[in-house]
Amino acid sequence: MADGVKPNLGAAEDSLRMVSAQTQQNEQLSDEELRPASLDDFIGQPRLKEQMRLFLTAAQKRGVPPDHILLAGPPGLGKTTLAMIVANELGVPVRITSGPAIQHAGDLASILSSLDEGEVLFIDEIHRLPRAAEEMMYIAMEDFRVDVMVGKGPGASSIPLTLPRFTVVGATTREGMLPSPLRARFGFTAHLDYYPDDELRKLIHRSASVLEVSITEEAAAQLASRSRGTPRIANRLLRRVRDWGVVHDLDVIDEDAVQAALDLYQIDSQGLDRLDIAVLNAVCRQFNGGPVGLSNLAAMVGEEAETVETVCEPYLVREGFLIRTPRGRVATQKAWKHLGIVPPDDVNSLF
């Protein structure tokens, strides 16, 4: 145990543990340490940053906790980072949990009753809360109370428990799955968009500085173009390129190093990985460009249908490699060209 940190002998739960916040010598930087701590350091989403700055500053001037915040958007765009920034900007602690971790209403009641005045409760994947916990959240978020059931059977009674005023920050990748009553109780909804390459380059330079990696502007541009508009992917690729540089004793990561490293990891110039290429090859080569059903496509590439639909398709459709039609998935001219295959004449006529 680190010096100056006392053991957590009085913990009510075995899962509680005490850790030191200080980075130890030779300790590797974690993803959390790449996260910016303030809105000023947060790169990208300029309109959202201004909205959130106004929202938080107004609450601070009024001297009350801000309204509840919903962060919606695809994975890896910075929802968790923004939740941490909200707590840091307000100068209050943050409690972290997730929808799947709350299995019963009692789990949520235990968390809510332990909150202090002004604290931030961050619930990741909030759309996956169980129904009973959702209904408890309605009252907790609006009236700041929960009803605790005491006893069982005919003698059971409900005791209202008043909660201190707190702020819920919910994150979801599927806003449409949130029940309308729960969505309506958020005072501010922030939608995160994919990042353009110029913002990703800035983010890569910042992360490289934190990781103490020297990288050229051309190399950062190469990484940005292969990061699928997602900061999490950009940071992951930067770490892999850093590994390449360490193994090959490079003082500066240049464009050739990025090319060689990502070729090894099968990330091509458009950010497509092995599974993406397998899906395009299956549609173009085995199914003559489509249309092909999801089940047949998944069987051809040896993956679950849900994996193809949720992991591959969103990016392939967004970048114009695939089209979803009522009859199935169809490859576009861009897909044929990317694979270096000349489409049949009957496929050319479709475009």
| Candidate list 81, 167, 173, 230, residue with the active-site label | 173
Residue tagged 């070729």 (tokens): 263
Q: Is 334 a catalytic residue?
A: no
Tokens, residue 243: 């590994």
Buried b (16+ CB within 10 A) or exposed e, 187-218: ebebebebbeeebbbebbbebbeebebebeee
Q: Is 79 a catalytic residue?
A: yes
| Candidate list 35, 81, 124, 226, residue with the active-site label | 124
Q: Is 57 a catalytic residue?
A: no
Q: Is 232 a catalytic residue?
A: yes
| Candidate list 35, 183, 232, 242, residue with the active-site label | 232
| Candidate list 79, 185, 201, 242, residue with the active-site label | 79
Residues classed as catalytic: 79-80, 124, 173, 232
